[in-house]
Structure 1
């Protein structure tokens, strides 16, 4: 997860814009991070009909990364340095290879809504990892971390994860890999600036995922189902290219709390889509556990006014 800065709404949007509400561009970017990212987990589920987990993710990120890198080169942006490519390999291997690969693997046996509900714990994990760099959470943040982790513990006791220990292990590993990669990218292993850095991360992560696919003996299901192909294309274009760049715009121009608001919205959207479209089952107990997790994340990101 890219770093969130702490500028106020007035600092980023200007006094006039802050009084008048969000500009149309930011509203569109917000919709992309809420709706598109919230729906990608269901798209992963449908792509699994013909694309094995690591193969699906590897091809998705290789294609998206190559398209984004070609676009940036056409605009005159330089290639990353050798050191930046090395960093991209480490970060891409952790965040995309372990993080997104583990997510897809978990969705083979666990509903997409429960998977993204578990992923809501990532901001809490990142806050814990930042302790190694001397970033001590405030009292309210510490309460949020404890509450969120308690919610995840409750979530793992629900029917969905109890029925699939392998899915639980996969999504837990995915969250750890994503969190470690996020912190390393912020602290010690910076990528190239802007979109070229993300393109290099996707390319390197795609290579790692293809290696994992080969090690697992995955292969294409030919001919692929049309629904699976449509879901894969949706992930490449909307999930990897449009939504992430929308998130980068929010980071640059919107308050940090607003940019990170997808953390609360995505689990709800993913769970609703899973129930309404894919016929997944989410028990009242699991809805309650998700509420506890999101309450913890809200406390973590809450910034009291002076």
Structure 2
């Protein structure tokens, strides 16, 4: 199995872990302030990974450390918007599809900010994604709900995070403003993930300390909030993002994150099973259009996957 194939397989597992994380997070914000939950979740996960990554962390250069902190800071802003969206929404499935728009925006960020060439399918997907957003807002007379706005903002910032994470996890050559060629060493997956998670935890801890009450949570007689925090930290945060960063390090292209389009599908299914959620006709239509945009955005990859599947069946039959 090639590194590219391993990357795709690991990212599929990441989508399942991420979808389960939505359930953990939704349960947690019903029992405690959202930013407080995020701070506990990411600080626990980041501390655990930092212990495992201690030898690698000590070997990082100043440039590697600063780039990793930058990834974590952008990630922290995105996660702040995401958890506020989850806190303010009644439809976890809809929120997952809105957040998945980050996959569509990744190639745009890569093109506009870093000059990476993009296929025409990327630009065809954008108006379709916008149409899906419009359908999701029709029930409110084109007045998006607060949760929707948070999710859309999170998706935009996640796109920048995905691109920065991929570039930081891979070695590359850059030219500075003086025309000098500089080799940017990659940051190994484990220390990069540990630093990013600790940065997110520190950022959300500060936000929570400033804006949220804590006493009610610690006095809560229901201990399940502790369970949700630990489950989110170990499974949906530490394990998920370590595997995601490692998978991205196996592929030099920012397009690898397209596999993450599976996440909203799993979330929508789990929301029906776990919470008994239902969607209106407009919501289903909007989510379907957004998913179509995601498929168009990565049509070349989808086409190659279908071709490989057909060729595999033909080979098996002939054998």
Q: What range describes the TM-score normalised by the shorter chain of this pair? A: 0.7 to 0.9
User: Which residue of structure 2 lines up, in the alignment, with residue 170 of structure 1?
Assistant: 150
Please report the RMSD computed on the Cα atoms of aligned residues, expressed in angstroms: 3.3
Q: CA offset at residue 265 of structure 1?
A: 2.2
Matched, 1:49 2:46: no
CA distance in 2, matches of 1:184, 1:243: 18
For the structure 1 residues 260 and 32, does the alpha-carbon distance in structure 2 shift closer, same or farther, using more than 3 Å as the test? Answer: same
Residue 279 of structure 2 aligns to a residue in which SS?
A: coil
Partner of 2:132: 151
Kindly tell me the number of residue pairs found equivalent between the two proteins: 283
Aligned to 1:215: 210
The residue that corresponds to 1:246 in the other structure is 243
User: What is aligned with 2:39?
Assistant: 58
Which ranges in structure 2 are unaligned for 5 or more consecutive residues? 169-173, 175-183, 308-319
- TM-score by length of structure 1 reads 0.79
Name the larger-Rg structure: 2
Find out whether 1:117 has 2:97 as its counterpart. Answer: yes
State the TM-score, normalized to the length of structure 2. Answer: 0.76
Deviations 1:188-230 (A, max 9, x none): 9987322101111111121111111122133251244333222
Q: 1:16 aligns to what?
A: none
Deviations 1:47-96 (A, max 9, x none): 112321111111211111111011112x5553533443333333222212
Query: Secondary structure of 2:38's match?
Result: helix
**1:283 aligns to 2:280 (yes or no):** yes
Task: Tell me the alpha carbon deviations over residues 228-266 of structure 1, each in whole angstroms, 9 at most, x when there is no partner.
Answer: 222211111111122223334544568989964642321
CA distance in 2, matches of 1:184, 1:254: 14
